[in-house]
Amino acid sequence: MNMQTIFPKKLKPGDTIRIIAPSQSMAIISQQTQKFANRILKNFGFKVTFGKHVNETDKMQSSSVKSRLDDLHEAFADPTVKGIFTAIGGYNCNQLLDYINWDIINKNPKIFCGYSDITALNNAIFTKTGLTTYSGPHYSTFGRKHDNKYTEEYFRNCLMTDSPYEIKASKRWDDRKWYIDQEDRTSYTNKGPVVINKGQAEGTIIGDNLGTLGLLKGTEYFPDLTHSILFLEDCDSSAHPVEFDRNLQALIQQPNFDKVRCIVIGRFEKAAKMSKEMLTYIIKTKKELTKIPVIANVDFGHTDPKITFPIGGAVSIVAEDNNTRITITKH
């Protein structure tokens, strides 16, 4: 990590935030969900604004590269905008990377937050500019009517304060399709983090969605793994044991993986059929992981609720059976 890390200014009530759609179009988000999201973000004290092209929709339920770039560049260049949030994830924001004007981002560092497909942008921005970005809720995530307080708490901890914060496990979790039925309250007891390999570590957070991070392999946008702590999660069929196993193996084969200090794995959806025993087997069969701590079942990824954490920020890890602590020390 040779480039100097830049930490953007924190958000505060009264700040203007901008919603952009660098992946799928905001048009796929229901009006009801948007109404809830607007209300929650205004409760934080933010003035919510939108990119000019967020509702454009093409055959891929996205919009042109030019439209998405225009909104990205304008959001960073606008001095009144203090934070940029992605509308929703998808599959194609890596189309933008070769065309981004990195100088605009360099000259206008500010909070940029999203997850899933946005992993490509988060890690590319950090790699090319040194600007810390954030894996956290989309605009659409705030459209969840029930059981979102934990998500809101960690959003505030990370993006509205400078203080270190410890990641405490949520009491319950779910992977319900709340955007279809807001009154479905199905949830499960959260048993907390699972220690697969014991140990302690400190380092720089890299990662988020494993499959999307893999799209950057072999490009100038893939982050340096030196002294890193990898936060990894995956979704749907990509998180099935055989897919997760080979995607993790491909990451292990990247330059400087031997300098990775720890792996923190986000919670899997039920559909992934990833048991504690299977995940332990996958980790234990990889000799490259035997000497570093590995923790699983942490509150991030494609289940709810979820934390917000900094890509490029610093974290301290203690992985012991009865004393597991994950503390974000700089964000």
Strand blocks (E) in the chain: 16-20, 47-50, 81-86, 111-114, 133-135, 165-166, 172-173, 188-189, 194-197, 199-209, 228-233, 262-266, 294-298, 309-311, 314-319, 325-330
| Annotated active-site residue in 67, 116, 140, 170 | 116
| Annotated active-site residue in 23, 233, 316, 331 | 233
Told to judge if 233 belongs to the known catalytic residues of this protein, a careful annotator would answer: yes
Using alpha carbons, list the distances in angstroms from residue 251 to 147, 148, 149, 153: 34, 32, 33, 31
- 171-210: buried (b, 16+ CB within 10 Å) or exposed (e) per residue? eebbbbebbeebeeeebeebeebbbbbebebebbbbbbbb
Q: What distance in Å separates the CA atoms of residue 300 and residue 318, rounded to the nearest whole number?
A: 18
Looking at the DSSP bridge assignments, the partners of residue 81 are 16
| Annotated active-site residue in 138, 152, 228, 302 | 302
Q: What single string gives the DSSP state of each residue in 146-198?
A: SS-HHHHHHHHHHHS--S-EE-PPPSEEB---TTT-TT----EE----EEEE-
Q: What distance in Å separates the CA atoms of residue 249 and residue 288, rounded to the nearest whole number?
A: 10
Q: What distance in Å separates the CA atoms of residue 148 and residue 198, rounded to the nearest whole number?
A: 31
Q: For the chain, what is the radius of gyration of the CA atoms?
A: 18
Contact 123/206 with Cβ under 8 angstroms? yes
Q: What distance in Å separates the CA atoms of residue 127 and residue 100, rounded to the nearest whole number?
A: 13
Q: What distance in Å separates the CA atoms of residue 208 and residue 259, rounded to the nearest whole number?
A: 18
| Catalytically active residues, by annotation | 116, 233, 302
